Amino acid sequence: MSWLQGVRHLVRSLVRRRSMREERDEELAFHVRMESEHLRREGMSEPSASAIARARVVDVTEPARWTLDSVWLDLRHAGRALGRARTFTVTAVFTLVGVMTVSIVTVAMLSALYLRALPFQDDHQLVTVQSTDADRPAGFNVSLPNFRDWSSQKAFSKTAVWDMMARGIVATGLDAQRGDIVRVAGDFFGTLGVRPAIGRAILPSDEQDETRMIVLSDRLWRGMFGGDRAILGRRVHLDGIPHTVIGVMSADFRFPASALAWASWPATMQQYMPRSTVTEQMIARLAPGHSPAMAQRELAGITARLHAEFPGARDDQATGAIVTPLRRALFGAEGTLLLLLGGAVVCALLTACANLACANLARAAERTGEFDIRAALGATEARLVQYWVLETLLLTATAAIVALIAAPWLLRAVWAHAEFVEFQTAQPRVDLWSIAAAAGLALLIALPIGVLPAWRSVRHHAIGAVARGGRVIAAAGWTRSILIVGEVATATMLLIGTGLALRSVARVLAQPRGFETSSVLTAELQLPLMQPVRATALVEALIDSIRRLPGVLAAGGIDHLPLAYNPLTGSRVASGIMREGAQSSDSTASGGFHAVDGDYFSAMGIPLLRGRLFTAADDSLTPRVAVVSRIMAARYWPDTNPIGQRFQAIGADQALAGQWLTVIGVVGDVRAVSLEQASLPDYYVAFHQGVSAAWQRYLVLRTSSTASDLAPPVRRLVAQLDARIPIAFATMKERVATSQSRRLFAGSALGTIGMIALALVLVGVYGVLSYTVATRAREIGLRMALGATRQQVQGEVLGAALRPVVIGVVVGVAGALALTPVLRQLVFELSPNDPMTIAASVAVIAGTAVLAGILPARRATRVDPNSALRSS
Amino acid sequence: MATDSAVLPGTLDLLILRTLADEPMHGWGICDRVRLRSGEVFRVNHGSLYVALDRMLRRGWIVSTWQITDHNRRAKYYELTRTGRYQLTRERQRWERIAAAMALMLVPSPGR
């Protein structure tokens, strides 16, 4: 408790300087008076007694009035001291720069996602609404009828739905561009609270209009129309259907980021969407006074009522709804990841600070002589604290400036790999928040680390040469142990996180994909505007010539490639399924629509399980056939042979409307949307039999050697066919890696920070141990002179150092266990408390600590007992 | 002959602690008491005194309170804490060790 009083006194002497000064003045005045009284009693006469008393009691302890000069002096002194201790300064600055740069980058990314507002009006009122059921409590898409029901709730002031017509192609007759077109219903632009830069937005009333309308993105407007201001009223063709341009959005509107244009959806077409077709994304603006939770409760009530009252509503897949604030829905996963990384960065920061504090303590101990002199010359504790804080501030400020210079580079590099962030509404940059963070860090690090040695050096009292060595170590050893414990704990937690992330990636990659990835090359084709039949014939000819290339084992094409889209839009067009002989009222069936040509299945390595695949005999004159996936066969024809069964595809492709498809084969399941999501029912039709939107293609080739080698020959073939066709290559391996970019990003970021932390632990343990050995040389020499063997001494030195390491590991593991809910976000099919990962991390830390300790321990044994005893 | 109490660093602390062990005292009183009890050998320099008192306050060996003296004046009195008493024992033992060692040193070597 006495140290507490000591701290209190120190704080008071710093904080209440004036009252302390006044007290000191009063005390000295009292002293003078007593002294003069004493002199009078001894016989001195009056004026002399007081004068002499006053002359004797010269106040040498009055705290010097603080001037700005003292700061300047201290800074120069600190600069010289740092210049002399070059190793320390360089190591410290490097460590700090590394950690600060990572911190600034993290703050910049967090600021872009969270602190800067979304470009929508009052974005805190915006929410997304998703359906839920017993199997999918996390939410899935909404159906149009559900949207109509839910829109009428008073919880929402405005609502809208949208979906991606990813097969959209916009054409003016001279030029065509294929890309993501967003189909909207409800008050899309009104809900978001945005206005087009030119013209007007699509309104709910436009749905009654048979005329199709389209709002262009700035990108499309400039690219296709050259920024022509007379754009309003012009006609463009979307999938062959004429649309009138009514507006152009501003350049910074990206919802979603890849959208080329937004198209209206006439009510007459909307009626074809049953309750069972869940393809829409719903957004809404909350009415004033309503919260997401309130809205969610209202919607759940409505849905339950609907199901009870209307049997027809059993088509509805949704049993409830989930309402999420838009920002969280957009950035939920990414934000959590970044916060996790932020936590890791904070850990690394703390580790670096711990190292710096240790080193500072050691230097303070070495420099006690210097500070004793300063204290004797009248420096107060406050000045000493000021000196140490300024010296540390000099280090941290230098590091902060260098970090701010380096940060933009690192930010650019990191962001380039952050492909998983889909809704880039604000570009991360080193903004005011980042600069503030850097400055704040510099101060926050400097203050405690600066005060610590000051406190120590002020407490240190030069008792006498005899006791000096031991006393210093004993006093500071306790603090150093705590710092090592902290370092080791944070490094342990970081390593556990890294291990979990990387093992999760391995688990994801080990999931049954359903398709091959080695030696498979894919190419994304953008065909020019032409009749669908011609487009299909073109692609077939292309596939034929590709098949004849040397090294190609199989070649085919498909409209949506697995993993080709990000998880938000999916690479799957869901449609309703109506089996022959099933009552329409209990069909909640849906399946993913795909159109293929060539030998797609063998090129992708998807096995044929029953029946046959498409042949050249299946053409536009023969009855339509389909190949279904294993899950689809098991779900919709569980007890019979699916071969020969018939079904209709609802809302998939205009060419299939009202047509019966006969099942001719069953193929293996494919994880198309994401490697982490289980396979869903899929069915495949042949382009050769006629598909209305035939311009989108992914070519797939299986090769006998390196997949990417075949890119140039394929490019040449395509150019020979039509030089205008753009083509983009990627191997399936690359696509798989991209799909895992979020996890890989987390794993590599955590791993990097973990490596830094490990290096810091290495340096820290080594430094502390070296210092201990160096200053305890006499003690060691004595022990060896008294008969201790080298091994014993080595073992003891190592053991003493490893005690705080062991405690640190225990604390670290406990911390990781406490952070289980956070770590859960990181893992895939792995327990956040996975024992093997924890054990491996502990082993790595222990190994590092032992490694760090070996050299100093060895040095301890090389101490010559005689010379050690002689030295003092 | 008055000896500067900084002969051996730490002596001053011992003197102050010992003085305060008897009763709480103000700064001047400590100087006076030390002077008297040591038979005028130790003259405590007030500058060193207040520096030492500050140091011991920081370490929690003593605490200070403002009180009224017999002559109705305000003075800052210092008092030993429990830590201070413990420290006194340790300092005394250390002093005795040093004194004993010095005594050994000053014994004439045999054969001279």
Q: Does the beta-carbon distance from A23 to B54 stay under 8 Å?
A: no
Give the mean pLDDT of A44-59.
Answer: 70
* Partners of residue A6 in chain B, C-beta under 8 Å: 57-60
Q: Does the beta-carbon distance from B46 to A5 stay under 8 Å?
A: no
Measured between CA atoms, how close is B76 to chain A, in angstroms? 6
Q: Considering the entire predicted model, what is its pTM?
A: 0.60
Token pair 């302890």 is at which residue? A61
Residue A1 pLDDT > 60: no
Lowest mean pLDDT across A83-97, A559-573, A643-657, A831-845: A559-573
Give the mean pLDDT of A229-255.
Answer: 84
Token pair 């996180």 is at which residue? A497
What pLDDT score was predicted for residue A178?
66
Q: Which of B59, B72, B83, B98 to mutate to test the interface with A (most CBs of A within 10 A)?
A: B59
What is the C-alpha to C-alpha distance for residues A260 and A243, in angstroms, rounded to an integer?
14
Query: Considering only alpha carbons, which residue of chain A is nearest residue B28?
Result: A31
Q: Does the beta-carbon distance from B50 to A10 stay under 8 Å?
A: no
What is the C-alpha to C-alpha distance for residues B54 and B41, in angstroms, rounded to an integer?
24
What is the C-alpha to C-alpha distance for residues A546 and A214, in angstroms, rounded to an integer?
38
Report CA torsion sign: A692, A697, A699, A700: negative
What is the C-alpha to C-alpha distance for residues A273 and A709, in angstroms, rounded to an integer?
45
Q: Does the beta-carbon distance from B47 to A61 stay under 8 Å?
A: yes
Q: What is the pLDDT of residues A415-437, one digit of tens each?
A: 766 655 555 456 677 788 888 88
What is the C-alpha to C-alpha distance for residues A582 and A276, in angstroms, rounded to an integer?
15
What pLDDT score was predicted for residue B20?
95
Residue A160, strand partner residues: A186, A283
What is the C-alpha to C-alpha distance for residues B22 and A237, in angstroms, rounded to an integer?
104
How many contacts, defined by CB atoms under 8 Å, are there between A and B? 77
What pLDDT score was predicted for residue A368?
67
What is the C-alpha to C-alpha distance for residues A61 and A57, in angstroms, rounded to an integer?
10
Are A164 and A182 within 8 A, CB to CB? yes
Residue A58 pLDDT > 60: no
A38 vs A57, more confident: A38
- What is the interface pTM, i.e. ipTM, of the complex? 0.84
Token pair 């389209």 is at which residue? A214
* Most confidently modeled range among A103-112, A519-528, A633-642, B7-16: A633-642
Q: What is the pLDDT of residues A445-457, one digit of tens each?
A: 888 887 777 666 5
For chain A, state the CA radius of gyration: 37
Measured between CA atoms, how close is B60 to chain A, in angstroms? 4
What is the C-alpha to C-alpha distance for residues A557 and A696, in angstroms, rounded to an integer?
10
| Helix ranges (DSSP H) in A681-740 | 711-721, 732-739
Measured between CA atoms, how close is B111 to chain A, in angstroms? 26
Q: Does the beta-carbon distance from B60 to A5 stay under 8 Å?
A: yes
Element (H, E) at A701: strand A696-703
Q: A3: pLDDT confidence band, cut at 50, 70 and 90?
A: low
* Partners of residue B10 in chain A, C-beta under 8 Å: 461, 463-464
Give the mean pLDDT of A678-702.
Answer: 86
A212 vs A362, more confident: A212
Query: Considering only alpha carbons, which residue of chain B is nearest residue A9?
Result: B58
Residue A543 pLDDT > 90: yes
Q: Biggest alpha carbon distance in chain B? A: 65
* Partners of residue B66 in chain A, C-beta under 8 Å: 23
Q: Does the beta-carbon distance from A4 to B60 stay under 8 Å?
A: yes
Query: In this structure, what token pair is assigned to residue A425?
Result: 């509404």
Residue A663 pLDDT > 90: yes
Lowest mean pLDDT across A302-311, A347-356, A405-414, A521-530: A302-311
Q: Rounded to a whole number, what is the distance in angstroms from the first to the last CA of chain B? A: 31
Query: In residues, how long is chain B?
Result: 112
Q: What is the pLDDT of residues B61-86, one digit of tens each?
A: 999 999 998 888 889 999 999 999 99
What is the C-alpha to C-alpha distance for residues A755 and A315, in angstroms, rounded to an integer?
54
Residue A290 pLDDT > 80: yes
Query: Considering only alpha carbons, which residue of chain A is nearest residue B86?
Result: A2
Residue-averaged pLDDT of chain B: 84
SS3 A246: strand
B67 vs A763, more confident: B67
Q: For residue A255, give every residue at least 6 positions away whose Cβ sits within 8 Å of its Cβ, in sequence order, or none.
A: A192, A423, A425
* DSSP string across A765-805: HHHHHHHHHHHTHHHHHHHHHTT--HHHHHHHHHHHHHHHH
What pLDDT score was predicted for residue A781?
75
Residue A61 pLDDT > 60: no
Are A611 and A681 within 8 A, CB to CB? no
Window 66-105 of B: residues touching A by CB (8 A cutoff) are 66, 73-76, 81-83, 94, 98
Q: For residue A525, give every residue at least 6 positions away whose Cβ sits within 8 Å of its Cβ, in sequence order, or none.
A: A539, A557, A696, A697, A698, A699, A718, A725, A726, A727
Give the mean pLDDT of A402-422.
Answer: 76
Residue B64, strand partner residues: B78
Q: For residue B18, give every residue at least 6 positions away whose Cβ sits within 8 Å of its Cβ, in sequence order, or none.
A: B88, B92
A111 vs A651, more confident: A111
A423 vs A701, more confident: A701
* Partners of residue B46 in chain A, C-beta under 8 Å: 31, 56-57
